[in-house]
């Protein structure tokens, strides 16, 4: 029997799917290598254990699967019934036995991958609604999952590093952060990346003299709210706190 492959014929979408799947493999490797008792340790997300991270990422796959089902069927299926229900679901799943928690992570990711695989190009363009209320084409679920698995792999504090992330992904994350900041009235901090071609302007519209300088990995870590290691303030003073991202 021939292997089933993605129905999309869009090369850009195929590349995006590959990056998301690589991120899932990166995240799953750390989850697999942690001992059961190590899941109880704190993560890099304040107030969350590693268990919360694994639960959140698994449940995120289920939520995105609901959006792909919406795109395929035309039947409105929101990611979550409410913000409160989402939080309660994560807290409950974090209490699962370690084997069940790992199974949640693995099986939810597989289900999402199957739903992605079976979407045709017309369905990928169907509009769905994110948990924040934004109307986006279903193909946006690929980016939503990509940032989820790669960044939360670092949040597990089990060996993942922003320095491991592909250069293209770091650029996409910084663009995503700028877009999120740009939807708010406050001035945008300037982010200067030192390990890029000087002729490649990664911050074309700095709106504030406040900001940071560092490698792409370090600036992305700062911009996504994961600490100031490796960055310096542009004005020579203390490193400012990054505005909220998501």
Asked if residue 204 has pLDDT above 50, the reply is no
Question: Is 34 in the same domain as 138?
Answer: yes
Q: Are residues 24 and 114 in the same domain?
A: yes
Which residue, of 160, 184, 212, is where some domain finishes?
A: 160
Q: What is the pLDDT of residue 137?
A: 98
Q: Are residues 134 and 67 in the same domain?
A: yes
Query: Is residue 238 included in any domain, yes or no?
Result: no
> Which of 106, 141, 160 is the last residue before a domain boundary?
160
Q: Do 69 and 184 belong together in one domain?
A: no
Dihedral angle, C-alpha 12, 15, 21, 24, nearest 10 °: -80
Residue 197 belongs to domain spanning = 169-233
Q: Is 149 inside a domain boundary?
A: yes
My answer on whether 138 and 177 are in the same domain is no
Residue 124 lies in a domain: yes
Beta strands in the chain (DSSP E): 127-129, 135-137, 190-193, 211-214, 232-233
Residues 50 and 143 in one domain: yes
- Is 244 a domain residue? no
| Per-chain mean pLDDT for the chain | 93
In this predicted structure, the answer to whether residue 168 has a pLDDT above a threshold of 60 is: yes
CATH number, domain at 87?
1.20.120.450
Number of structural domains in the chain:
2
* 242 located within any domain: no
What pTM was estimated for this model as a whole?
0.93
DSSP assignment of 39-57 equals GGSB-SSTT-BHHHHHHHH
d(C-alpha 209, C-alpha 190), whole Å: 7
135 and 101 fall within a common domain: yes
Percent of the chain whose predicted confidence (pLDDT) is above 70: 93
Instruction: State pLDDT tens for residues 11-47.
Output: 999 999 999 999 999 999 999 999 999 999 999 999 9
- The answer, yes or no, to whether residue 207 has pLDDT greater than 50, is no
**Tens digit of each residue's pLDDT (9 = 90 or more) over 112-153:** 999 999 999 999 999 999 999 999 999 999 999 999 999 999
Output the pLDDT for position 14. 97
Say if residue 26 is in the same domain as residue 142.
Answer: yes
């Amino acid at each position: 029997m021939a292997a089933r492959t993605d129905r999309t014929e869009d090369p850009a979408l195929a590349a995006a799917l590959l990056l998301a799947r690589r991120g899932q493999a990166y995240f799953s490797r750390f989850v697999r290598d942690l001992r059961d008792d190590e899941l109880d340790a704190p993560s890099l997300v304040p107030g969350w254990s590693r268990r919360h991270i694994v639960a959140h990422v698994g449940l995120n796959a289920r939520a995105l699967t609901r959006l792909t089902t919406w795109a395929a069927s035309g039947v409105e299926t929101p990611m979550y019934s409410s913000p409160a229900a989402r939080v309660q679901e994560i807290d409950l799943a974090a209490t699962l036995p370690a084997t069940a928690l790992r199974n949640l992570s693995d099986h939810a990711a597989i289900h999402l991958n199957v739903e992605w695989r079976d979407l045709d190009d017309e369905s990928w363009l169907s509009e769905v609604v994110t948990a924040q209320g934004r109307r986006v084409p279903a193909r946006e679920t690929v980016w939503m999952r990509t940032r989820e698995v790669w960044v939360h792999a670092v949040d597990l504090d089990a060996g993942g590093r922003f320095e491991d992330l592909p250069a293209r992904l770091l650029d996409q994350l910084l663009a995503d952060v700028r877009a999120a900041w740009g939807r708010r009235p406050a001035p945008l901090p300037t982010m200067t990346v030192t390990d890029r071609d000087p002729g490649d302007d990664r911050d074309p519209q700095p709106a504030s003299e406040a900001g940071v300088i560092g490698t792409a990995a370090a600036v992305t870590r700062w911009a996504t709210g994961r600490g100031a290691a490796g960055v310096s303030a542009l004005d020579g003073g203390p490193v400012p706190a990054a505005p909220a991202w998501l």
